[in-house]
Amino acid sequence: MSSIPETIHPQLHIHSYGLYLRRRFGCRVSKVNVDAGFTCPNRDGSKGTGGCIYCNNVSFSPRDTRPVIPLEEQMAHGMAYHRQRLGSEKFIVYFQKYTNTYGSMEHLADLYRRALDHPDVFGISVGTRPDALTDEALELLTEIARDRYVCLELGLQSMDDDILTRINRGHTLEDFLSAVRRVDGHGFDICAHLIYGFPGETAEGFLKTADLMASLPIDSIKLHQLHAVEDTELARMYRAGEFTPLTLEEYVSVAADFLERLPARITVQRLYGSAPLAIRVAPQWGLKNNQMWFAVVNELTRRGTWQGCRISRRP
């Protein structure tokens, strides 16, 4: 194996996003989730209806982020939480729910600028679909990135077009590749969202995604297991015996394999998915968020490996 790159956290064995932010900005930085009331083109009929088979945004949204709560109030609550819990000094406002470039430029500019008006906010992170980034939205984000931090989070989920069709994703791999090509060179970070465990997916097929990430100008990734929550098609499939969730051991093993193939230059923002117990259907692993994170990290430690260590050994 090659020597451990300087980007790799010595205890975590990965290039953690938190370490990247601290090194870049010189202080403890946290992301604060907000819900700006967006919808999704895969729900309103412009791309499709019903959304992705696993999508219920309640499953990954803090209870204090709701569109009826003013943006500034959501930010204040999130910042207070992270100050108390982690001692965070500066913040990135994360526009999370649904498709956060899917609106008029006037509306987007108003929301982004209001978030950036807070003196302790130095940047924004914007979650969107690769097929919902207009030239106007790209121009707006590029303008903001000239003097503020911007991360654009693009949901790929799977590089397999057959899987994307089966999960009613409403876009293709080429849509994602096209979006990355358009965004590259505009002065902000690109984060790819990935999920492992779709029906019909193999570990071998999923691990090819690490090779894809290595070939693209991706700055960070978010990875989590597929899980079913209430009020989704996936929950119905689970109860009908049409979806078998991964075991914890299966997920941890493949996640570690994935990280070993992922270049050390790419930061890791997330390694697990969670949902409130009240709506969680499957899998039921019984772990808290930090336990999920360290389940993967501890597997790398057990192996004596780290992010990117297998790249040079592949043919």
Mean local confidence (pLDDT), 148-173: 96
pLDDT surpassing 90 at residue 185: yes
**Which band of pLDDT confidence, cut at 50, 70 and 90, is reported for residue 56?**
confident
Q: Please indicate whether residue 4 or residue 15 has the higher confidence score (pLDDT).
A: 15
Q: What is the pLDDT of residue 315?
A: 41
pLDDT surpassing 70 at residue 61: no
pLDDT surpassing 60 at residue 50: yes
Residue 47 · residue 171 · CB < 8 Å? yes
pLDDT digits (tens, 9 = 90+) for 203-252: 999 999 999 999 999 999 999 999 999 999 999 999 999 999 999 999 99
Non-local CB neighbours of 7 within 8 Å, separated by 6+ positions: 15, 20, 264, 265
Structural domain spans, the chain = 17-306
Q: What is the pLDDT of residue 235?
A: 96
| The pairing of beta strand 189-196 with beta strand 220-225 | parallel
pLDDT digits (tens, 9 = 90+) for 250-269: 999 999 999 999 999 999 99
Q: What is the pLDDT of residue 80?
A: 97
Mean local confidence (pLDDT), 32-58: 83
Non-local CB neighbours of 87 within 8 Å, separated by 6+ positions: 28
Tell me the average pLDDT of the chain: 92
CA distance 256 to 279: 28
Tokens 């069709």 correspond to 165
Beta partners for residue 247, in sequence order: none
pLDDT surpassing 50 at residue 59: no
Mean local confidence (pLDDT), 171-199: 97
| Model pTM score | 0.93
Mean local confidence (pLDDT), 74-86: 95
Beta partners for residue 123, in sequence order: 92, 149
pLDDT surpassing 90 at residue 65: no
Q: What is the pLDDT of residue 312?
A: 61
Architecture label for domain 17-306: Alpha-Beta Barrel (3.20)
pLDDT surpassing 90 at residue 157: yes
- The fraction of the chain above a pLDDT of 90, given in percent, is 82
Mean local confidence (pLDDT), 125-139: 95
Q: What is the pLDDT of residue 314?
A: 46
Q: What is the pLDDT of residue 223?
A: 97
- The fraction of the chain above a pLDDT of 70, given in percent, is 95
Mean local confidence (pLDDT), 101-117: 95
